[in-house]
Amino acid sequence: MIKKALSTFLLILLASASFHSQAQEDMDIEKIRAMGKQVVADRKKGNCVACHVIEDMEAPGTFGPPLIAMSARYPDKAKLRAQIWDATRRNMLTSMPPFGKHMILTEEEIDWVTEYIYSL
Protein backbone atom coordinates (compact mmCIF):
# COMPACT_ATOMS: atom_id res chain seq x y z
CA MET A 1 0.00 0.00 0.00
CA ILE A 2 2.85 2.39 0.85
CA LYS A 3 4.57 1.54 -2.46
CA LYS A 4 1.38 2.31 -4.38
CA ALA A 5 0.93 5.64 -2.56
CA LEU A 6 4.58 6.51 -3.18
CA SER A 7 4.39 5.66 -6.88
CA THR A 8 1.18 7.69 -7.23
CA PHE A 9 2.85 10.63 -5.48
CA LEU A 10 5.87 10.37 -7.81
CA LEU A 11 3.63 10.30 -10.89
CA ILE A 12 1.79 13.41 -9.70
CA LEU A 13 5.09 15.13 -8.93
CA LEU A 14 6.48 14.30 -12.39
CA ALA A 15 3.31 15.47 -14.14
CA SER A 16 3.38 18.69 -12.14
CA ALA A 17 7.05 19.32 -12.98
CA SER A 18 6.38 18.65 -16.66
CA PHE A 19 3.44 21.08 -16.71
CA HIS A 20 5.48 23.74 -14.90
CA SER A 21 8.36 23.23 -17.32
CA GLN A 22 6.05 23.69 -20.33
CA ALA A 23 4.43 26.77 -18.78
CA GLN A 24 7.89 28.25 -18.10
CA GLU A 25 8.98 27.51 -21.66
CA ASP A 26 5.83 29.17 -23.07
CA MET A 27 6.46 32.24 -20.91
CA ASP A 28 10.09 32.37 -22.03
CA ILE A 29 9.07 32.18 -25.71
CA GLU A 30 6.66 35.09 -25.21
CA LYS A 31 9.43 37.15 -23.58
CA ILE A 32 11.79 36.34 -26.45
CA ARG A 33 9.15 37.30 -29.01
CA ALA A 34 8.50 40.58 -27.17
CA MET A 35 12.22 41.39 -27.25
CA GLY A 36 12.31 40.47 -30.93
CA LYS A 37 9.38 42.77 -31.65
CA GLN A 38 11.25 45.63 -29.96
CA VAL A 39 14.31 45.04 -32.14
CA VAL A 40 12.15 44.79 -35.28
CA ALA A 41 10.56 48.18 -34.51
CA ASP A 42 13.76 49.91 -33.33
CA ARG A 43 14.92 52.40 -35.96
CA LYS A 44 18.52 52.03 -34.78
CA LYS A 45 18.45 48.23 -34.93
CA GLY A 46 16.22 46.03 -37.09
CA ASN A 47 13.81 48.64 -38.40
CA CYS A 48 12.10 45.89 -40.39
CA VAL A 49 8.91 47.92 -40.61
CA ALA A 50 10.75 50.45 -42.83
CA CYS A 51 10.52 47.93 -45.68
CA HIS A 52 7.96 45.31 -44.60
CA VAL A 53 4.29 45.33 -43.70
CA ILE A 54 3.92 43.87 -40.21
CA GLU A 55 0.35 43.50 -39.04
CA ASP A 56 0.46 45.32 -35.71
CA MET A 57 3.01 48.03 -36.53
CA GLU A 58 2.46 51.56 -37.78
CA ALA A 59 3.78 53.19 -40.97
CA PRO A 60 4.90 50.03 -42.75
CA GLY A 61 7.00 50.10 -45.87
CA THR A 62 6.04 48.22 -48.98
CA PHE A 63 9.48 47.66 -50.51
CA GLY A 64 9.93 44.19 -49.01
CA PRO A 65 7.39 41.38 -48.88
CA PRO A 66 4.79 41.51 -46.10
CA LEU A 67 5.81 39.51 -43.04
CA ILE A 68 2.81 37.22 -42.76
CA ALA A 69 2.45 33.43 -42.52
CA MET A 70 6.16 33.18 -41.84
CA SER A 71 6.13 29.67 -40.36
CA ALA A 72 4.40 28.48 -43.54
CA ARG A 73 6.89 30.32 -45.76
CA TYR A 74 9.83 29.10 -43.68
CA PRO A 75 8.92 25.70 -42.21
CA ASP A 76 12.59 25.41 -41.19
CA LYS A 77 13.17 28.22 -38.70
CA ALA A 78 16.94 27.95 -39.28
CA LYS A 79 16.45 29.09 -42.88
CA LEU A 80 14.55 32.16 -41.71
CA ARG A 81 17.37 32.94 -39.29
CA ALA A 82 19.91 32.53 -42.10
CA GLN A 83 17.89 34.95 -44.24
CA ILE A 84 17.95 37.54 -41.47
CA TRP A 85 21.63 36.93 -40.75
CA ASP A 86 22.67 37.42 -44.41
CA ALA A 87 20.04 37.69 -47.13
CA THR A 88 22.79 38.13 -49.75
CA ARG A 89 23.53 34.40 -49.54
CA ARG A 90 20.23 33.67 -51.33
CA ASN A 91 20.12 36.83 -53.43
CA MET A 92 23.23 38.92 -54.07
CA LEU A 93 21.07 41.78 -55.34
CA THR A 94 18.82 42.02 -52.28
CA SER A 95 18.39 45.36 -50.59
CA MET A 96 17.93 43.67 -47.21
CA PRO A 97 20.89 44.42 -44.96
CA PRO A 98 22.94 41.41 -43.78
CA PHE A 99 22.14 42.00 -40.11
CA GLY A 100 24.51 39.37 -38.77
CA LYS A 101 27.31 39.54 -41.30
CA HIS A 102 27.64 43.30 -40.83
CA MET A 103 27.08 43.05 -37.06
CA ILE A 104 24.03 45.33 -37.16
CA LEU A 105 22.40 42.95 -34.70
CA THR A 106 23.97 40.65 -32.15
CA GLU A 107 23.49 36.89 -32.43
CA GLU A 108 21.05 37.06 -29.53
CA GLU A 109 19.05 39.85 -31.19
CA ILE A 110 18.90 37.82 -34.39
CA ASP A 111 17.53 34.89 -32.37
CA TRP A 112 14.89 37.18 -30.83
CA VAL A 113 13.92 38.67 -34.21
CA THR A 114 13.74 35.21 -35.77
CA GLU A 115 11.44 33.97 -33.02
CA TYR A 116 9.16 37.02 -33.34
CA ILE A 117 9.00 36.99 -37.14
CA TYR A 118 8.45 33.23 -37.20
CA SER A 119 5.39 33.78 -35.01
CA LEU A 120 3.79 36.15 -37.53
The CATH number of residue 29's host domain is 1.10.760.10
The predicted pLDDT at position 20 comes to 46
The separation between the first and the last C-alpha atoms of the chain, rounded to the nearest angstrom, is: 52
Where the chain has pLDDT below 50, the residues are 20, 23
The predicted pLDDT at position 63 comes to 87
Based on the structure, what is the number of domains in the chain?
1
- The reply to whether 4 falls in a domain is no
Q: Which domain holds residue 64?
A: 23-118
Short-list 93, 112, 92, 91, CA closest to 40: 112
- The reply to whether 8 falls in a domain is no
- The reply to whether 43 falls in a domain is yes
- The reply to whether 41 falls in a domain is yes
- The reply to whether 31 falls in a domain is yes
The predicted pLDDT at position 2 comes to 61
Short-list 53, 42, 40, 12, CA closest to 111: 40
- The reply to whether 18 falls in a domain is no
The predicted pLDDT at position 56 comes to 83
Cα dihedral 30, 54, 70, 98 in deg (nearest 10)? -100
- The reply to whether 17 falls in a domain is no
- The reply to whether 92 falls in a domain is yes
pTM higher than 0.85 for the full model?
Answer: no
